[in-house]
Amino acid sequence: MSTPDPSKSMRTPLGRVRNLGASHSGTSDFWRQRMTAVAMVLLMVPAIVIVMMLLGRNQAGAAQVLGSAPIAIIMLLFIVASTWHMKIGMQVVIEDYVHSEMVKLACVMANNFFCIAVALASIYAILKLSSGV
């Protein structure tokens, strides 16, 4: 099946690219960033309360607080939402303001690596503390 010739199409150029950007991904990053922002707003108050509960406690006390499944889940969701939001936000800044393609690629790769490393380290710490090991 061959692709139709755009010069013979009845659709306008805007109609052909509607909802699709140059990378053919449209506004998915925009909406992902908004969704992670909403998730963070919803999780912000419980996360702050949990952190305040941890103030002044030693490791055993922190493990006791984080040993509760709902508390550990709230913290894990907050970590995932915030690191994903951070990754998308920094990638947008890099793509907008870094003009050299090689430097841009290196920066995007470093951003991805950094965000994954922060997320994995945070998730590991929460799981280790919540399991009591």
Kindly report the CATH number assigned to the domain that includes residue 32.
1.20.1300.10
- Per the domain annotation, does 21 fall within a domain? no
Question: Residue 102 is part of which domain span?
Answer: 27-131
- Per the domain annotation, does 58 fall within a domain? yes
DSSP class of 6: G
Which tokens in the block code for residue 29?
A: 């990053």
- Per the domain annotation, does 10 fall within a domain? no
- Per the domain annotation, does 35 fall within a domain? yes
pLDDT in tens, 42-64: 999 999 999 999 999 998 888 89
Which tokens in the block code for residue 58?
A: 């030693």
pTM of structure: 0.75
pLDDT in tens, 58-88: 988 888 998 899 999 999 999 999 999 999 9
Q: Domain count for the chain, please give it.
A: 1
Interior/surface letters 11-49, b for 16+ CB within 10 angstroms, e for the rest: eeeeeeeeeeeeeeeeeebeeebeebeebbeebeeebee
Look at residue 36 in the predicted model and tell me its pLDDT: 94
Please tell me the distance from the alpha carbon of residue 59 to that of residue 132, in angstroms, as a whole number: 9
- Per the domain annotation, does 92 fall within a domain? yes
Please tell me the distance from the alpha carbon of residue 32 to that of residue 22, in angstroms, as a whole number: 18
Please tell me the distance from the alpha carbon of residue 117 to that of residue 123, in angstroms, as a whole number: 10
